Amino acid sequence: MRADQLIGQAAVLEGLCSHPAVKAILAWKPEALVDAKFDRNELTLTIAAEEIRTAATTVQSAGYNFFEDVTAVDWFPSSPRFQLSYHIVSHQYMERIRLRVMVEGDAPVVESITAVWPSANFYEREVFDLFGITFEGHPNLCRIMMPDDWQGYPLRKDYPVEGYR
């Protein structure tokens, strides 16, 4: 039986030790797992920012085969400023997990996971376009929604809703 809510790494490791994604991450590199929570029936694993590509490979081989979505959340003005949420579905376990990465600074750089899932291509471009997060190793990192000569990153919290006039 699963509890409804498990907050904190220790609680998740204890309550969900047999979960395939948790097991795979622990078998690969326990110190890459920074934080974890199980809330509203969703498992969130926070991964150290520099390990995200290998973490993606790990969960992929653990059965989480379908990359669904990546997006960012701007927690301005707190630090670390940006949160990246990767949503990955397993066709085998019929379940979804979230890999979370926290990144510091105003112009952060994260490794791209397009080598693991080519479908991340457009999603990473969108995050780059609207949040200004650079993905290293992306094959074609340019603006996708906004015009190429656009100044600023519209989905950041310090960008006004009406835009700059």
| Residues at the site binding other proteins, with contacts judged by CB under 8 A | 39-42, 44, 65-69, 71, 73-74, 85, 87, 89, 91, 94-96, 98, 117-123, 130, 143-147, 154-155, 159, 161
Least distance in Å: CB of 41 to other proteins? 8
Give the strands of the sheet with 95-103, arranged side by side.
6-7, 33-39, 42-47, 95-103, 82-90, 66-74
| For other proteins, the closer CB: 23 or 157 | 157
Least gap, CB of 103 to other proteins (angstroms): 15
Looking at the Cβ atoms of 27 and 145, the one nearer to other proteins is 145
Our CB check for other proteins shows the closer of 52 and 67 to be 67
